[in-house]
Structures are given as structure tokens and as C-alpha cells.
């Protein structure tokens, strides 16, 4: 760190904090079952931005220096645009060549990103940040850049106006603190468990992280910190810094992004923890800066923006080609290596050269062969991306699996209505004997089974087969359903009188579940009902083994939880599945329903003995 008196100070420990943040985000995306709170890396980035922008402006205001806002804008957006533009057009070119179905809305995605309003577009049109399964978009994570860019555009004007009106820094700090609290309260009020997009992507509901950093920029100005504090203060800063680091890491492992607590103060709490952590790193009397500084952290920190921007396209496209669930850790290492390689190439051959490029020389300066090569490659990428963007924007045609799920869902809804109205529902026992490979007694017993089946798209896909074999079954299945949504669904079914004594669960296709979620599900069902929980078959996702271990652990923990091992039964039957190797074809659905019925009937027979 440079001496405090120098004009420009580079705090190397901030690179370490950026490294921690970007690692949290990447590991969350690669292995959400391992680091379910890794998305908390984003508030750390926002805190850092809030601090340095506000500190720089307040320092100039303190010294009564002229503030050149246009210079600030040029500097910031010259840093942001090159990587974003490269990623947008490279990704669009790849989609044009190899993933045509992702061209839907591509013009709006590119345009809203270039205008820095993508986060607001995504609130209405984008997928949930926590939808980890089907149709993942390589652009979802760019919502963060919209929030930051809007802050860079508006905050210099706001902070200048606040100083002009209020004059005293202490008063400005108090106003910023009030705005911070208002943002966190708004997140809690607007939180909707059915759709978190509004509070997760909204600039206003995420502003508290930026504002906390801004508050710190006024309350903890770098040029006013004592480089030689008393030993007791040094030790205190070190202890607090270590504690805040540990709390942050614990949050990375524990704070589920779909839990209500996250939006009712959890995310704000961890932003507050991050604020204190930044304060200890910045203080020259603390050892935290040294502990967060090393060549690796510096390398990652310098490239953290590019790493963040390129990570999602690499993951989405890699996981379209490779069954990562079979070797999740190995594939995660490969994906990280690809992300780092692309980020390094971008940093060295795109970001750094453009940082020193004078656009006035575009048509006058002589170019080296490297510059001509870059220019030629850029033209090719732009041409391919432009061709893709020029295509008529049609929603991708529904796959055979999607069509079958919709058809099955409609049939299940009608069947459920018949059950709810008290109508007698029956199917052809003789046909079931043949189709489901059951004995006559098993088929007749299955006709009498009263079960409630709750699940995600896999259950929705198989609903028709389940209700043909077990016509008394009430099926509540929804595409994209996460395990965390299940307790509320179970309670609602119980309230409506549709929760039978036998409950069949298929949860885990869309991501792993916390122990708290599993406990909440079992408690919502109640100890007097029997739960038959199917293991997951999702070889294309890294959480497959984790989900299945969680289900088996629940079977050992709770006496009324019975594990139905669909994964083991179906593992060597690729012919049972569609192209995604997760949702079943007709034979898969038949065997899925058969396994459920046979498991329940076997237990009932054993109990009778």
C-alpha cells in the first residue's frame, strides 16, 4: 500500500476481496449444492463500487475541487463497455451457430444490456436467477452490470446535490443511511416467494449494498485513516476483520437464495458484514490488507470483471455438451479453467489495448498485424452475431418433452378436479396388468391407492401414467419447482383436503435442498403420513449426487420417509429418457409410475405381515 499522503492509493487487499466475491459467485453457479449462498459475492462487488465512487467524489468536494462528471462517465464506461460488448457479440455469434433456440429475444437482450437497463427488462421477461435447470440463459447474470451502471450514472449527480443542499458531511451520511434502510425495507415488503425477480433484479431493492459502501466512503475516508493507531486498535481491527471474513464465508455456505429470511434482512445483514470487512481491509493500521494480498488474488482481482462476465456463457454452453452430473467436481475444474483462460485472453488482447486506445486515431494510425488480426476477428464475430440478431424473433418451438408435459398436466388437472368433486375414477385393470407389468392383484391394489404426488417437471411429465395406474392419485406438479417451495404447497393441499395419508415426492430436479428445507417438508407432511421420496435422475447437473444423498439421509432420519430409488432403477436405461436425459419418454413414465406403486404396495404387504 502506498503512503496515506500520496494522491493515488491502491489497496491490494481489495483485489483479494474481489477474488472472494467472484469465487463465491462462480462456485455457486457450478456447485449450488456446495455453496448455496455464493451469490452473496455480488453485494461485495456493489459495496466496493459504492465506496470508491463516493470516496473519490467526497474528497474532491472536501477540497473544493471541480468535479468533472463527464470525465468520470468516460472513465467508468470505457472500463465497462469493452468486456460487455465482447461477451454479448461473442455469445450471440455462438448462439447463432450452435444454439438457435436461444436467439429468442436476443435483440432486446443485447439492446437492454448496451443501454444498461437489462435488469429491469429481466424482471418481466427473464428467468429466475435461481432457476438452475431448463433453458438457462447465458445472459442472466448481467443484471448486476445494469444496477452498477445506473449507480454510476445517477449517484455522482445525487451525491453532488446532497452536498449542495445539506452542506455537512455528517448530514449527508445520515440521509444515505436512511436511503439504505429504505431500500432494505422495500426488498422485504415487495418480496414474493412465487417470483423473486422484482426484488432480486431491481435497482431500488438492491441499492442498499451500493449505499452502504457509499456511507462507508464518507464515514471511513481512506485519506483520513491513521496509519499508526494504538496497538489495541490494531488488534481490534484484525479481530473484527477475521470475524467478518468468517461470517461472510458462513453466509456463502448457508444463506439459501430462495428462503424468505434472505429478503427479510438476510442479504442486508451480509452487506453490513461486508461493509465492516471492507473497512478493516482499507485501514492502514490493520493487517487485513496484507492478509488479503498475494499475487494470485491480485491476478484474479484485476480480471474479476471479465471473469464474472464470461463465466455464465461458458457454463451454459459447456453443460449443454457434457453430462456434468456424472463427474461434477472434475467438470467444475474444467469450466473454471476455460473461464480463466478466456478472461486472460480478453484482458490481455482486448481490455488492456482498448484502455489505451485513442478513438481519434481509428482511421489515421498505422496498425500492427496483431491489431489487424483483432480487427478482422471482430468483424467476423459482429457479422455472425448481426446475422443472428437479424433473424425473425420467434419463440422457440416446444420440444416433444414440453408438449407431453403440458398435455399430461392438463389431463392431471381434470383428473384432480374429478377426485375433488367426489366422482368415481377408475381405469382398466386388465390393461394396466399388461402395460405396467404387474400381477392382477397388484393392479387391483394400485387402483385403490389414495396418494398425493407432489413434484416438479419430472412428476408433471409422468402424471398421466401415475393416474392411469393409481386413479385415486392427486398430482400437484409444476415445471421449475424448487424444494424450498414444497412446504407451502403441502400446507395448501392439507388445507384443501387433498393431502392423503401417502405422499409421493419428486423434488430435486432443479437443485439441491438445505437440511432446513428437507425438515420443513417432512414436518409439513406430518409424522402420521407416509412419504415416498424418489431420488433424482439429472446427470447433466452437478447436484444429482448431493440431492440423492440428501434424500437417503432423510430416509434414515425420519421413520416415515421411504426412499424410492428411481436413479438406480433408471441409470442404465437411456432408452427411457428424452434428449435431455432427465424427462422420460412413454416407457420411462410407465416404469416410473410402476416403481412408485410397487414400492408402496411392498411396504403395505410387509406391514400386514
Domains observed in the chain? 12-80+136-341 (no CATH), 400-608 (3.40.50.1110)
Rounded to whole angstroms, what are the CA distances from 564 to 216, 315, 503, 507? 53, 31, 12, 12
Considering just the CA atoms, what is the radius of gyration of the chain in Å? Answer: 28
To the nearest 10°, report the CA torsion of 210, 212, 216, 218: 80
Pair 208, 263: CB distance under 8 Å: no
pLDDT averaged over the chain? 90
Dihedral pair phi/psi, residue 133, rounded to 5°: -105, -105
pLDDT value of position 134: 55
> Alpha-carbon distance 297 to 312, whole Å?
21
Nearest Cα to Cα of residue 23 among 212, 351, 280, 253: 253
pLDDT value of position 183: 98
Beta-carbon contacts of 419 under 8 Å, excluding residues fewer than 6 positions away, are 425, 472, 474, 498
- Indicate the SS3 state at residue 442: helix
pLDDT value of position 6: 39
Instruction: Please give the grid coordinates belonging to residue 348.
Output: 490481455
Pair 37, 252: CB distance under 8 Å: yes
> Alpha-carbon distance 194 to 478, whole Å?
12
Beta-carbon contacts of 35 under 8 Å, excluding residues fewer than 6 positions away, are 24, 27, 28, 252, 253
Q: Which residues in the chain land under pLDDT 70?
A: 1-9, 131-135, 354-372, 608-609
Pair 93, 388: CB distance under 8 Å: yes
- The 8-class DSSP code of residue 324 comes to G
Find where cell 418433452 sits. 401
Q: Which residues pair with 454 in a beta bridge?
A: 476, 505
Q: Which residues pair with 474 in a beta bridge?
A: 452
pLDDT value of position 424: 81
> Alpha-carbon distance 553 to 571, whole Å?
20
pLDDT value of position 2: 40
- The dihedral built from the CA positions of residue 600, 601, 604 and 609, taken in this order, carries a sign that is negative
pTM: 0.83
> Alpha-carbon distance 15 to 273, whole Å?
18
Long-range contacts of 390-399 (CB under 8 A, 24+ apart): 391/96, 391/103, 393/103, 393/104, 393/105, 393/106, 393/107, 394/104, 395/104, 396/100, 396/101, 396/102, 396/104, 399/578, 399/579
Instruction: Please give the grid coordinates belonging to residue 280.
Output: 478493516
Q: Hey, which bits of 507-558 come out as E strands?
A: 530-534
Name the strand (E) or helix (H) holding 113.
Answer: helix 106-114
Widest pairwise Cα distance in the chain: 92
Count of positions (residues) in the chain: 609
Rounded to whole angstroms, what are the CA distances from 141 to 112, 307, 311, 543, 598? 13, 12, 9, 20, 44
- The 8-class DSSP code of residue 509 comes to T
Pair 51, 276: CB distance under 8 Å: no
Dihedral pair phi/psi, residue 397, rounded to 5°: -65, 145
Nearest Cα to Cα of residue 438 among 242, 596, 265: 596
Q: Which residues pair with 530 in a beta bridge?
A: 502
pLDDT value of position 355: 63
- Indicate the SS3 state at residue 258: coil
To the nearest 10°, report the CA torsion of 571, 577, 578, 579: 20
> Alpha-carbon distance 462 to 383, whole Å?
44
Amino acid at each position: 500500500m502506498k503512503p496515506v499522503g500520496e494522491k493515488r492509493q491502491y489497496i491490494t487487499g481489495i483485489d483479494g476481496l474481489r477474488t472472494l466475491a467472484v469465487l463465491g459467485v462462480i462456485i455457486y453457479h457450478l456447485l449450488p449444492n456446495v455453496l448455496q449462498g455464493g451469490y452473496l459475492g455480488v453485494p461485495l462487488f456493489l459495496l466496493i463500487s459504492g465506496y470508491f465512487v463516493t470516496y473519490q467524489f467526497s474528497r474532491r468536494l472536501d477540497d473544493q475541487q471541480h468535479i468533472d462528471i463527464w470525465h468520470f462517465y468516460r472513465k467508468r464506461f470505457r472500463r465497462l463497455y469493452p468486456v460487455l460488448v465482447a461477451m454479448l457479440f461473442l455469445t450471440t455469434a455462438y448462439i447463432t451457430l450452435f444454439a438457435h433456440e436461444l436467439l429468442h429475444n436476443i435483440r432486446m437482450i443485447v439492446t437492454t444490456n448496451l443501454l444498461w437497463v437489462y435488469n429491469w427488462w429481466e424482471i418481466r421477461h427473464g428467468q429466475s436467477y435461481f432457476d438452475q435447470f431448463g433453458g438457462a440463459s447465458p445472459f442472466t447474470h448481467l443484471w448486476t452490470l445494469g444496477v452498477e451502471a445506473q449507480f454510476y450514472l445517477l449517484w455522482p449527480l445525487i451525491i453532488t446535490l446532497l452536498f449542495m443542499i445539506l452542506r455537512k458531511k455528517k448530514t449527508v451520511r445520515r440521509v444515505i443511511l436512511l436511503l439504505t434502510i429504505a431500500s432494505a425495507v422495500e426488498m422485504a415488503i415487495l418480496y414474493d416467494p412465487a417470483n423473486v425477480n422484482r426484488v432480486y433484479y431491481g435497482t431500488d431493492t438492491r441499492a442498499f449494498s451500493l449505499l452502504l459502501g457509499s456511507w462507508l466512503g464518507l464515514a471511513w475516508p481512506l485519506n483520513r485513516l491513521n496509519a499508526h493507531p494504538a496497538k489495541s486498535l490494531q488488534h481490534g481491527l484484525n479481530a473484527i476483520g477475521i470475524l467478518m471474513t468468517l461470517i461472510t464465508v458462513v453466509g456463502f455456505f448457508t444463506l439459501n437464495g430462495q428462503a424468505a429470511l434472505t429478503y427479510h434482512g438476510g442479504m442486508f445483514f451480509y452487506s453490513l458484514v461486508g461493509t465492516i470487512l471492507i473497512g478493516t481491509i482499507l485501514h492502514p493500521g490493520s493487517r487485513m490488507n496484507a492478509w488479503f494480498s498475494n499475487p494470485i488474488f491480485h491476478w484474479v482481482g484485476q480480471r474479476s470483471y471479465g471473469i464474472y462476465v464470461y463465466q455464465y456463457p461458458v457454463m451454459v454452453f459447456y453443460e449443454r455438451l457434457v453430462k456434468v452430473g456424472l463427474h461434477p467436481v472434475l467438470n467444475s475444474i474444467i469450466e473454471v479453467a476455460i473461464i480463466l483462460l478466456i478472461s486472460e485472453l480478453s484482458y490481455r488482447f482486448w481490455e488492456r489495448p482498448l484502455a489505451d486506445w485513442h478513438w481519434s486515431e481509428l482511421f489515421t494510425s498505422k496498425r500492427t498485424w496483431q491489431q489487424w488480426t483483432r480487427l478482422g476477428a471482430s468483424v467476423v464475430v459482429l457479422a455472425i452475431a448481426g446475422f443472428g440478431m437479424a433473424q425473425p424473433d420467434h419463440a422457440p418451438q416446444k420440444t416433444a418433452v414440453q408438449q407431453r408435459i403440458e398435455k399430461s398436466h392438463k389431463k392431471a388437472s381434470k383428473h384432480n378436479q374429478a377426485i375433488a368433486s367426489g366422482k368415481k375414477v377408475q381405469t382398466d385393470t386388465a390393461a394396466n396388468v399388461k402395460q405396467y407389468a404387474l400381477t392382477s392383484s397388484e393392479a387391483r391394489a394400485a387402483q385403490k391407492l389414495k396418494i398425493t404426488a407432489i413434484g416438479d417437471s419430472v412428476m408433471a411429465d409422468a402424471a398421466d401414467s401415475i393416474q392411469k395406474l393409481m386413479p385415486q392419485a392427486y398430482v400437484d406438479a409444476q415445471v421449475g419447482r424448487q424444494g424450498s417451495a414444497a412446504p407451502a404447497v403441502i400446507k395448501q393441499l392439507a388445507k384443501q383436503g387433498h393431502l392423503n395419508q401417502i405422499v409421493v415426492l419428486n423434488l430435486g430436479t432443479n437443485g439441491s435442498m438445505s437440511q432446513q428445507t428437507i425438515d420443513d417438508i417432512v414436518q409439513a407432511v406430518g409424522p402420521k403420513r407416509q412419504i415416498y421420496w424418489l431420488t433424482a435422475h439429472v446427470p447433466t447437473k452437478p447436484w444429482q449426487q448431493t440431492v440423492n444423498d440428501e434424500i437417503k439421509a432423510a430416509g434414515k432420519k425420519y421413520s416415515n420417509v421411504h426412499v424410492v430409488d428411481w436413479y438406480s432403477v433408471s441409470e442404465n436405461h437411456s432408452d427411457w429418457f428424452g434428449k435431455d436425459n432427465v424427462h422420460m419418454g412413454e416407457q420411462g413414465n410407465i416404469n416410473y409410475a410402476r416403481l412408485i406403486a410397487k414400492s408402496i404396495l411392498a411396504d403395505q404387504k410387509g406391514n400386514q405381515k
